[in-house]
Amino acid sequence: MLFFRHLFRVRIPLAWDSIAGDPNTHFEAYTMAEARNRAYSRPAFDRRIIIQSEQAQRVFEREFPRVVSALYAIDVILRIIGDDHEIDEIESVVGAMIGDCAKDLQNEKARIDKVREDNGITSLPRYTHPEQVEVRIVSPQVAQFVALLQKMDELMISLDALWLCGVLSNKQRSDGVYQWQQRLLRLGRRIVAIERRARASAGKRGKEAEVREATGDTPEGTNVEGSEAEAVIADDGSDDSDAIPARAAIMD
């Protein structure tokens, strides 16, 4: 019975004389109020991915929930602001930030894979604590960030393969994985900063309450299976400052 109530969302008036003047008045007023109060039905993909490396898991835990929320909020806020020029400008900036990082990551992955090939290394290591996570794709930019995280994980695996086979020293391996962990953490923080600026811009236009109401149901974006589910966004207290060390000379 509850299913049909939510499906049709129609309330039958208690007395027919309440709509004697106009049979449509009561129904129209009710459905308009319902339309204003009901949650917006947005499209989303739910995907399960496996993150192997410790560095990619750290990026996921520290930044991914905030990035998903920020990207969703940016989209909502820009629609509320309604400035087409500002919408295009901010979306271009966010897209370029993710795209530039993806291009650099792809180039580095190709370079490291060539080193593996030159050294006859075809096997990849297994990891003792891989993490299966569920991600909710609520915008094209979220999909791009998920792909970026997966590509970073693949790069970490290739670096670990070179290290385990003795091709990379401990320092070369440490510098390599650290710089990419920090690169993605920094990218996530920049996206969150853009969302805050968009929110401030909406506030200056007197739309703060409208934004707060519209983004109050921001999607969580993540679900981690296992005993660490509650620690998805926990900070382990280690340093994740923006500083990125000079690029290690990894088999140049």
- pLDDT (tens digit per residue) in 48-104: 999 999 999 999 999 999 998 888 888 777 777 766 777 778 888 888 999 999 999
- Do 203 and 130 share a domain, yes or no? yes
**Residue 247 in domain:** no
- pLDDT (tens digit per residue) in 149-194: 999 999 999 999 999 999 999 999 999 999 999 999 999 999 999 8
- Do 20 and 92 share a domain, yes or no? no
Above pLDDT 90, what percent of the chain?
44
- Do 89 and 24 share a domain, yes or no? no
- Do 62 and 33 share a domain, yes or no? no
**Amino acid found at 246:** A
- pLDDT (tens digit per residue) in 189-223: 999 998 888 888 777 777 777 777 776 644 444 44
Nearest 5°: CA angle at 72, between 69 and 77? 115
What is the domain range of residue 22? 2-37
Q: What phi-psi label fits residue 221: left (phi over 0), alpha (psi between -120 and 50 degrees) or beta? A: left
Overall number of domains in the chain: 2
- Do 8 and 129 share a domain, yes or no? no
Query: How far are the Cα atoms of 158, 177, 186 from residue 108, in angstroms, in the given order?
Result: 11, 12, 18
- Do 106 and 163 share a domain, yes or no? yes
Rounded to two decimals, the pTM is 0.70
- Do 80 and 167 share a domain, yes or no? yes
